[in-house]
Amino acid sequence: MSELNYLYGKPLSKADFKTFAEDFMVDEDLGIEFTGSGEHVCLQVVKKGENTQFIAKRIAEKAGVSPRDVSYAGLKDRHGVCTQWFSVPVPIKKHIEFSELNNEQFFIIAQQRHNRKLRTGCHKGNRFTITLRNVTEPLDILCRINAVRAGVPNYFGEQRFGHGGHNLEMAKRMFAGERIRDKKLRGLVISAARSYVFNEIVSMRVAEHGLAKTIHREVFMLSGSNAFFEDNISDDNIARLASGDIVMSAPMVGKGEKGLTETEKQWLLPYQSWIEGLAELGLKNERRMLRLIPESLTVETLDETTLKLSFGLPKGCFATALLRELVDYKDASPREQKQKDA
């Protein structure tokens, strides 16, 4: 992500990110009303220092089911304090006290029945509380806050690409004919490849047009929907953009050229081998919103070199995409430091 263009210029301030697990807190907003009955038990879990899949395995062991039967709305970072929901099938007449799993790494704070399992991406969004330490230029961050409130490029975060971009290296080998047998890993690699091309196109747009300026012809998405349409810029579309009814978008590439503007086709020329590889896997062209607008972004000064940020983001969006426009941050988590020292 360091090579992607900045909307507001590279920040002057540096800071440490994730020094302690409590410095990165995520609360999942599921946005679902549970039925109170049904063959699935939904568990709200607070976890610290463990990844989502580890928690899913422990829940599966307790329920006596396969780990693939435990579902969740989305993956959450290992190094942080994160609250998220899981679901597991449990016969209606059977009661399992999942709170018996509680330990220092995770704690079940709610247990409710529901008539269906949770699916990936079913949540509404996430609320983040981030503490930055050893901030070198706090004033620069404070001066950038209002600009960032208006939106940042909706880049995929570095975690999408694996440590050191490993998932992208695997994507290159996959497109060259190497087979990935693990379906879950294969899905992550495909997602990384598609996300990489998206980031590159957004970065080109930021460099040439920014995000506020519309091109004479755009592909718009209906807010809160995956539906999109291509149209000329008009007073009506400008009014719809202003009201939030529609948003500008960038391509998630696949088979065909549906929804690609002529400008985007030119930008995509260097990535034809990636596009062809994704098309052969059966992926179709889709769209993703271009601008990421945080909800209720606030900043609090804890001391001369420590700031606390709080904001909400829609599902599928990355806190680091917003953070990089505010500060040149360094991942100071124990895992990251251990890998660098190795």
- The Cα angle at residue 317 between residues 311 and 163, in degrees rounded to 5: 110
Which one is catalytic: 77, 182, 235, 245? 77
Residues in contact with 103: Cβ distance below 8 Å, sequence separation at least 6, in sequence order: none
Identify the residue whose tokens are 């949540």: 123
Active site residue 77: yes
Catalytic residue positions? Answer: 77
